[in-house]
Amino acid sequence: MKKSASIQKYITISSLSILLSIFTVILGAPLLRVLRQTYGPLVFWCTGSFVIGAAWLLNAQPLAIFLGAVWMTLGAYSEFEVKGLGWWKSGVLSVFFGACFTGFTINEAFRANGINTYAEIRKLIVDFLSPIQQLNPTLKLDADILIQQSPSAIACMLILAIGLGLIFERRVFSWLKLPHDKIASQLKLLEYRLPEYFIWVAMTAFLLTMVSFGGKAIAILSVNIVNVAVVLYFFQGLAVLEVFLDSMKAGAFTRFLAHIILIGQLFLVVSIVGLIDYWVDFRVRIQRMKTLGTNR
């Protein structure tokens, strides 16, 4: 625990992280990162265990599941990061552990409520979707597709939680006036780049969604991989955007407008930019243009 940490700040950080997680699932991630780095692993894991256990005992099982998944993922990422494992391996392993936690707790929740078959799970999803479709009849939601793509939906949620935690933790540290210790293996957004081999995984999966080679099971797996790839390449596209805004010396309003338009409205476009960056390397080109402009 850092000397500047206090009980009051602990209450503030933990309370806000829980409230944001309740209403948004992933927006409490930066605060969870700060909680772990400021108060240490013992406080972080004890707090998480208490909150998740209390939610489960109060029959708020969905809250316990998703809050626990994010807590587990960010906590695992921090532990691997401290050990110097590197951001890519830390991310893959932490998402794996978070997904395992989610799958296990969802299964336990189903068992506790007497839901044991695919038909019963499907009926539960149909009942959940029915009011949504009544509000918007033009919206077509298929329960089977949602179930088939639930693994990637969980993985994407956890990846977004890690991304938000890493991007905004420094601002939370600054807001709370807490010292921020840098870690050698810590990921910097402007340098974020997926391993080169991942492009072949993503392209192969995309191809298998377009052409059926191995039946339904492979098609479902491929769609799930593509969903995850879209989110991963979104962060690479976001890194390109940030480098471009830096080169333009964009102010706060310009950055805010760019984020609202490109991230809020054109998520897929940012992902495509991240994908193309594998071949084009936008950041190197932007830096060259900046250098040429400076030398003139």
Query: CA torsion sign, 267 to 101 to 192 to 207?
Result: negative
Cα 292 from Cα 213, distance rounded (Å): 49
Residues in the chain: 296
Q: How far apart are CA 253 and CA 129, in angstroms?
A: 38
For 219, list phi and psi in degrees, rounded to 5. -65, -45
Please give the model's pTM, rounded to 2 decimal places: 0.91
Q: What confidence score (pLDDT) does residue 214 get?
A: 62
Contact assessment for residue 91 and residue 159, using Cβ atoms and an 8 Å cutoff: yes
Other CB atoms closer than 10 Å to residue 112's CB: what's the count? 11
Residue among 253, 212, 201, 248 at smallest CA distance from 92: 201
**pLDDT (0 to 100) of residue 71:** 95
Q: Pseudo-torsion of CA 165, 168, 169, 171, nearest 10°?
A: -170
What is the DSSP-derived secondary structure letter of residue 157?
H
130 Cα distance to chain centroid? 28
Q: Are 31 and 16 in contact (CB under 8 A)?
A: yes
Residue 25 falls in which region: left (phi positive, over 0), alpha (psi -120 to 50) or beta: left
CA–CA gap between residue 228 and residue 232 (Å, rounded): 6
Per-10-residue mean pLDDT of the chain, 296 residues long, equals: 75 92 90 92 94 91 92 95 88 95 93 88 85 77 88 95 90 84 66 91 90 79 95 93 83 79 80 92 84 63
The conformational region for residue 177 under phi > 0 = left, psi -120 to 50 = alpha, else beta, is left
Q: What is the structure's pLDDT at 116?
A: 87
Mention every residue, 6+ apart, whose C-beta is less than 8 A from residue 174.
Answer: 180
Within 10 angstroms of residue 95's Cβ, the number of other Cβ atoms is 24
pLDDT at 2 (0 to 100): 59
Residue type, 180: H
Euclidean distance between CA atoms 161 and 157, whole angstroms = 6
Structure tokens at 1: 């625990």
Question: The tokens of 110 are what?
Answer: 């189903």
What residues contact 76, with CB distance under 8 A and at least 6 apart? 90, 93, 94, 97, 98
Q: Is-contact 81 183, C-beta < 8 A? A: yes
